[in-house]
Amino acid sequence: MTVFTITFSPTGGTQKCADLLANALSPAHTVIDLTDRTLDFASIPFSADDVCIVAVPVYGGRVPDIAVLRLRQLHGSGARAVLVAVYGNRAFEDTLLELRDTLQATGFRPVAAVAALAEHSIVRQIAAGQPDAADAAQLSGFAAKIRERLESGKIPEPLTVPGNVPYRAFGGVPLKPQADPTACNSCGKCASLCPVGAIPADTPAETNADACISCMRCIAVCPNGARALNPDMLAGLAQKLGAVCGERKQNELFL
């Protein structure tokens, strides 16, 4: 059994959740990074013996469009898939259903699904520090149950997960990171690592707001802290989310 993690994790939280599950299944696993716009996803080989932990962050109750686009380039070849929706303590809504439908259409066999908590990528004080030790223990326990499912060979057709069709409408996030030109030293790290190429390589202090998906990767990787969100808009979003994200939610397993 070869284990893969197939992740879209601009700020690292989604990858942490995927790794906690993968390490419990197999300490040696292969990482496929859906944020890497240079990869030829169609050329990656899978077989029916493989187990793929496919993890995405929740964007407004949905799978990020760019992640869907890249997942559709994969050829599952009957590989078994564990679906993971990672969210910042608000709700995951239609994400698992959309992920299941996307993977089934590309030849994967969904066997289990997990909704997992991680620090909110924009309002960092929400679910701060998650996944923490308690989450790690719970996700490891989930992995043991998933292993039992895999070893039993009893694959649900289809796997039942929460969600609705049509999927929840998502119009994007109005907050777009901007660079302080006095702090930016034009190293280009943000431009090279932007999942959608929204930052010009020759002028990395700029941002193509139309292309930007507000994933916060550029803020996370900037070595000089030169990129940030509008503080007034961020404070408004924090107040709005704080009203609905106060109670800590629990990770969930769907078998």
Express each pLDDT in 22-77 by its tens digit. Answer: 999 988 899 999 999 999 999 999 999 999 999 999 999 999 999 999 999 999 99
Q: What single string gives the DSSP state of each residue in 11-50? A: SSHHHHHHHHHHHHH-SS-EEEETT-TT--GGG----TT-
pTM: 0.96
d(CA 90, CA 74): 30
Give start-end residues of each CATH 3.30.70.20 domain in the chain.
178-228
* 8 A C-beta contact, residue 254 and residue 160: yes
Instruction: Kindly report the three-state secondary structure assignment for every residue of 59-96.
Output: ECCECCHHHHHHHCCCCCCCCEEEEEEEECCCCCCCHH
- The reported pLDDT for the residue numbered 27 is 83
Residue 21 pairs with which residues in a beta bridge? none
d(CA 29, CA 80): 14
Query: With the C-alpha atoms ordered 241, 242, 244, 248, is the resulting torsion angle positive or negative?
Result: positive
Question: Residue 73 CA to chain centroid, in angstroms?
Answer: 17
Exposure string over 203-224, b if 16+ CB within 10 A, otherwise e: ebbebeeeebbbbbbbbbbbee
d(CA 34, CA 10): 9
Q: Which pLDDT tens digit goes with each residue over 208-247?
A: 999 999 999 999 999 999 999 999 888 888 888 777 777 8
Check if CATH label 3.40.50.360 holds for domain 3-166: yes
Give start-end residues of each CATH 3.40.50.360 domain in the chain.
3-166
* 8 A C-beta contact, residue 15 and residue 121: no
Sorting pLDDT into bands at 50, 70 and 90, what band is 154? confident
Determine the CATH number of domain 178-228. Answer: 3.30.70.20
